[in-house]
Structure 1
Amino acid sequence: MKSLVRWGTTMSLIASTLLTSWLGKVPKVLALPEADIIKLLQTVPVFTITTEEGGPLVATIEDNQKVTQVFMSSQDADGFLDKLRQHQPDVGNKVKVQAVSLGEIYRFALANNSDVNKESLQFVYVPMKSAIDSAKKLLDTKGQEYKGGVPLFILRGGPENSMLTIQQNEREVIPLFFEEAPIQAITEKMKKDQPNIVKSIKIEVVPLENVIGLLQTKNDEALKQIQLVPPEETIQFIQNKIKLEQAQES
């Protein structure tokens, strides 16, 4: 761990007070190129409810705003679909849970909101309950409040309150975790390896929506170092899917 983990630049841009939530309304001018943002988001599988035609299941709420949900957890998406089939079988039996990358969601949102001939579609991200509980607990210890959004967990420490970076091949990345457990494990390991900075180590919470908004409005090369780390449940889902596909091919 000593050779792989260290403190990088302060990168004060990332903070829990940044911007308002990004819910699919994409500005016309992006600070980072669209391809860079999609590449960063592409590594995160998320789950949507799709129709027989392959499009997202859309609900109309107040003011005729059209919304679709994007689940961070496959289990949550399955649970939503089960309830839909119970209460609205005419709809629920015609839709399914579909895994798609967050990058594709972003690309779809960008295209949808830039087409003047289409009505704007709002993407609502549904966080895992366990992540919300962790975020509330961490924020409460700091006298802060959870105000919605998908919590991401980051680690700061060292003499300059810098962000944790991890050496990945020839590149340093700044990991942002979708759940607290893995970053808590890193924290405990670092406390043993670097006891001199124990008091400065702290886990912070920042909404995913703010990070995406930041990518859209700030021109900073350090942002390209961000790596979103999916929850363990999602990693297991993808691994099981790959094994199933391999078994079917053999």
Structure 2
Amino acid sequence: MKSLIRWSAVLGLVSTTFFASSLSPTMRALALSEQQIMEKLRPVPVFTITDAQGSPLIANVPNEGKQTSVAGVFISMQDAQAFIDQLKSKNPQLAQQVKVVPVSLAEVYKMDQDNKAKPEQLSVAYVPMKQQVDSALALLRQQGQQVSEFNGVPMFIATGGADKGYLTIKQGNEQIIPIFFNKEDLQGMITRFGQQQPDLANQVQIKVVDLQGIIETLQKSNDPQLNQIILIPPRESVEFVRSLMPAQGQAPAQLPAGQQAPR
């Protein structure tokens, strides 16, 4: 898959030690170009269920009295595989024809944007990791919020200091602001930060945001600090992509059409 080459840039960042360096001021809100947004999303692998031709499995769901075509996009490869395992008991014939395929989040974003103007719109339904949803809810409750559910894909970012700025790390000569799909990966970074700067360790907090909210911020903001944002995919996704690196020649999944998923 061509996107694997782009994803390789993230592998080193996730797999090596984080070097916390400073706290960044809070971002303002203005607008990034579509190309810049695509560049931010391209290194993040997500997972679809596709047929042998690379077309995604489509479900028709009721929406305001009409049927809407929905393609599921899984944040976790394991969750996508679990869906196929469940499909084996509901529709064994279809289960034999489909497989889990990684695609770039940028490709999903582009498809979603392109389809918004079409009469027969194909919607994207992101499937978050349950463990991370539970972590997000627990964190929000600890911070005093009365929440019973989390709508969307939770992501985690570290803040601290008097101005509650975003914790940055050094990548080469640049300062970046990592936003994690996996709370545990962020917690590891915070632990290393505390070892390097123990006087600031107690000031660090984890904030919960959601993926769609981040994308909307990228669409509506032109603050220079947005260029510092890097989305950090789950470690399991990184390892799965690494296992596919020798097979980069396979064709990417085609998202516009697909088979019907059982109801």
CA–CA distance in 1 between the matches of 2:150 and 2:98? 31
Structure 1's unaligned 5+ residue stretches are: 14-29
Determine if contact 2:133/2:150 at 8 Å carries over to the other structure: no
Matched with 1:153 is 156
Deviations 1:113-162 (A, max 9, x none): 23x3x511111111112211211221110122242211111000012111
Structure 2 residue 98 is matched with structure 1 residue 92 = no
Change (3 A) 1:189 1:54: closer
Deviations 1:9-28 (A, max 9, x none): 22265xxxxxxxxxxxxxxx
Once the 2 structures are TM-superposed, how far is the Cα of residue 188 of structure 1 from its aligned partner? 2.1
- Equivalent pairs counted in the alignment come to 227
Determine if contact 2:18/2:189 at 8 Å carries over to the other structure: no
Change (3 A) 1:3 1:43: closer
Q: 2:82 aligns with which of 63, 79, 83?
A: 79
RMSD: 2.1
Letter in 1 for 2:129: M
Matched with 2:110 is 107
Determine if contact 2:20/2:167 at 8 Å carries over to the other structure: no
Matched with 2:31 is 31
Structure 2's unaligned 5+ residue stretches are: 1-16, 249-263
Which stretch shifts more, 80-89 or 97-106? 80-89
TM-score, length-normalised on structure 2?
A: 0.79
Deviations 1:38-78 (A, max 9, x none): 11000100000113332221111112111111001111001
Of all paired residues, the percent bearing the same amino acid is: 39
Determine if contact 2:28/2:223 at 8 Å carries over to the other structure: no
> What secondary structure sits across from 2:207 in the alignment?
strand
Letter in 1 for 2:23: W
Change (3 A) 1:125 1:197: same
> What secondary structure sits across from 1:40 in the alignment?
helix
CA–CA distance in 1 between the matches of 2:101 and 2:201? 42
CA–CA distance in 2 between the matches of 1:236 and 1:83? 24
Instruction: Detail structure 1 runs of 4+ shifted over 6 Å in the superposition.
Output: none
